[in-house]
Amino acid sequence: MDKHTVTSFDEELDHIDRLIRDMGDLAGSMVDSATRSLINSDPAMAQRVVSEDAIMDARQRELDDAAITLIAKRQPMAQDLRAVVGAIRMAADMERIGDLAKNIAKRVNAVGQSTTPKSLSHSIEAMSQMVLDQVEAVVDRYVSHDAEALVALRADDEKIDVQYTSVFRELLTYMMEDPRNITACTHLLFCAKNLERIGDHVTNVAENAYFVLTGLQLPVNRPKTDETSVSSHHE
């Protein structure tokens, strides 16, 4: 491969890497804005999140096109091929995080029309902060090539599952105490579930980033402690 080809190949890889970082930053911003709009009943901010989802989708398409073109044209091997395939997988999870943030934002109007108990807002806020920290951290760890930190970050998803179970129980209590809470709490339940699923997608990103950096797959079985799901030993 001549020097010019190597340089343009590196530039194409850098372009894909930049797109992943951009999607990670946008994912963090969307999760932050969606949860703040929910907690503060801010429909204008929520609408911005819904609009940003189109930008996220466009970035994913751009990354897919760049990655497929690079594979077809350059036929990368080993580490380079891992980086390209890993980027496609990470981009798919970032796009799903954007979708889930948009889903939270779309419920802001419905929740805002009823009074949400303050303690419940705090519980959702605590969960959203944990999820946001995970989204921001996974991109930082990938950019800084810190494979060991990605392993720790993946394990931290368990804390989000525990918090989700706590929020779920709290919501059910409010619904049983006063039927007038049912509508708002149902919307909040979906929002909390979306936050929990964002945590799962962050875990996928961490696993793929680890694979890109090391060439190794992390063990498939990571303990799940979301007690609101039927566990396999009940089946």
Other CB atoms within 10 Å distance of the CB of residue 96: 19
- Euclidean distance between CA atoms 207 and 217, whole angstroms: 7
- Amino acid found at 17: D
DSSP output for 155-174: HTHHHHHHHHHHHHHHHHHH
- Is residue 33 in a domain? yes
- Is residue 97 in a domain? yes
- Euclidean distance between CA atoms 5 and 27, whole angstroms: 33
Of all helices (H) and strands (E), which one includes residue 119? helix 118-143
Q: Report the CATH number that the domain containing residue 155 is assigned in CATH.
A: 1.20.58.220
Question: Cβ-count burial of 123 within 10 angstroms (0-12 exposed, 13-18 middle, 19+ buried)?
Answer: buried
**pLDDT value for 221:** 67
- Is residue 235 in a domain? no
**pLDDT value for 108:** 92
**pLDDT value for 119:** 67
Domain range spanning residue 148? Answer: 3-226
**pLDDT value for 120:** 73
Instruction: Record the tokens describing residue 77, joined without a space.
Output: 């091997």
pTM: 0.89
Q: How many CA atoms lie within 13 A of 64 on its CB side?
A: 12
**pLDDT value for 5:** 64
Q: How many residues are listed for the chain in this entry?
A: 235
Number of domains in the chain: 1
Instruction: Record the tokens describing residue 160, joined without a space.
Output: 């989000």
Place of tokens 């036929």: 75
- Is residue 175 in a domain? yes
- Is residue 31 in a domain? yes
- Is residue 218 in a domain? yes
- Is residue 234 in a domain? no
Place of tokens 């609009």: 51
Chunked into runs of 10 residues, the chain (235 residues) has average pLDDT values of: 69 94 96 93 96 98 96 91 95 98 94 68 90 95 94 94 95 91 90 97 97 91 58 40
Contacts of 157 (CB under 8 A, 6+ apart): 134, 199, 200, 202, 203, 222
- Is residue 43 in a domain? yes
**pLDDT value for 232:** 39
CB 224 within 8 A of CB 203: no
**pLDDT value for 78:** 87
